[in-house]
Chains A and B, each alone.
Chain A
Amino acid sequence: DSGVTQTPKHLITATGQRVTLRCSPRSGDLSVYWYQQSLDQGLQFLIQYYNGEERAKGNILERFSAQQFPDLHSELNLSSLELGDSALYFCASSEGGQGDYGYTFGSGTRLTVV
C-alpha cells in the first residue's frame, strides 16, 4: 500500500456520460498530480494541485477538470466521455510543490467507455 488511495478501482460508463475519480494523497503530502495512461501514449501528465490551488497543467482536455479540497483530497471530473478516454487514470502525491524527490502513485482507476 503506497498510501495514495484512489476510488473507484474500475469504472464502466457510456459515451457522453460524466464521471468523477477520487484521490486521497499520502499523509503529509500537499501536492496531487493526475496522470492518464493508455496503451499507445504511456503516462501523460494532466494536472497538478498544490495545497488546494492549481499549480501546473499538462495535456488536459477542456472536457476534464479537477480540484483539490481543503482536506487535500482531489477529484478529477471527466465529462462528455468518448471511447478514446478509456485508460488508466493515476493519482500521485508529493510532499512539496516541486516534486524534486519523486512522486508516490496510487493504484489507479481503470475507466472503460463503451
Chain B
Amino acid sequence: EDQVTQSPEALRLQEGESSSLNCSYTVSGLRGLFWYRQDPGKGPEFLFTLYSAGEEKEKERLKATLTKKESFLHITAPKPEDSATYLCAVAVYGGATNKLIFGTGTLLAVQP
C-alpha cells in the first residue's frame, strides 16, 4: 500500500536554529514528490517538486532533497514567519492520472 510518513509531527525551534523535516515514502511508481506549506485555515501553498533521487531545490531559507526512500526539508536560520505546517505529497502513477498522496504534516513553530 502506498504510504507517506512525515516526522516529527511537531517541531519547536528558536529563531536561527536550523533543523530538518523528514518525509519517508513507500510507493510504487513515484512520479514526483511535492512539498507544500500550509498556514492555519488556508490552502496548501506549493513550495517544491522533486522528481529523481539526488535532486535538490532551494528557496530562501528552505532546501528540499530527495533520496529513493525519503525527502528532507532543511530549514536554515528560521524566522518566526516560517511557522506553518509543512506537507509532503507523492505523486504515484495511477493509470489515467497520478494519485497525489499526502502525509499528515509537520507543524513547525519558530519562536523569536
Residues of A near any B CB (own CB < 8 A): 2, 4, 31, 33, 42-43, 45, 48, 50, 55-56, 58, 88, 90, 92, 97-108, 110
A30 and B71 CA atoms in complex are apart in Å by 29
Contacts of A97 in B (CB 8 A): 96-97
**Minimal Cβ-Cβ distance residue in B for A9:** B41
Contacts of B105 in A (CB 8 A): 42
Contacts of B87 in A (CB 8 A): 43
A2 and B31 CA atoms in complex are apart in Å by 24
Contacts of B97 in A (CB 8 A): 31, 48, 50, 55-56, 97-99
B42–A58 contact, CB under 8 A?
no
The 3 A-B pairs of least Cβ separation, nearest first, read A105-B43, A43-B102, A42-B104
**Minimal Cβ-Cβ distance residue in B for A33:** B100
CB distance from B12 to the nearest CB of A (A): 20
By size class, the interface of chain B is: 20 to 34
A102–B41 contact, CB under 8 A?
no
Contacts of A90 in B (CB 8 A): 43-44
Across chains A and B, the number of contacting residue pairs, with CB separation under 8 Å, is 64
Contacts of A107 in B (CB 8 A): 42-43
A104–B46 contact, CB under 8 A?
yes
A107 and B38 CA atoms in complex are apart in Å by 10
B41–A99 contact, CB under 8 A?
no
> 20 A-B contacts, Cβ less than 8 Å apart?
A4-B43, A42-B103, A42-B105, A43-B102, A45-B99, A45-B100, A45-B101, A50-B97, A55-B97, A56-B94, A56-B99, A88-B41, A90-B44, A99-B91, A99-B98, A103-B100, A104-B46, A105-B43, A106-B43, A108-B42
Residue B34, interface by CB 8 Å: yes
A42–B102 contact, CB under 8 A?
yes
A100–B43 contact, CB under 8 A?
no
Residue B49, interface by CB 8 Å: yes
CB distance from B54 to the nearest CB of A (A): 19
Question: Chain B CB within 10 Å — which of A55, A58, A92, A103 has the most?
Answer: A103
CB distance from A72 to the nearest CB of B (A): 16
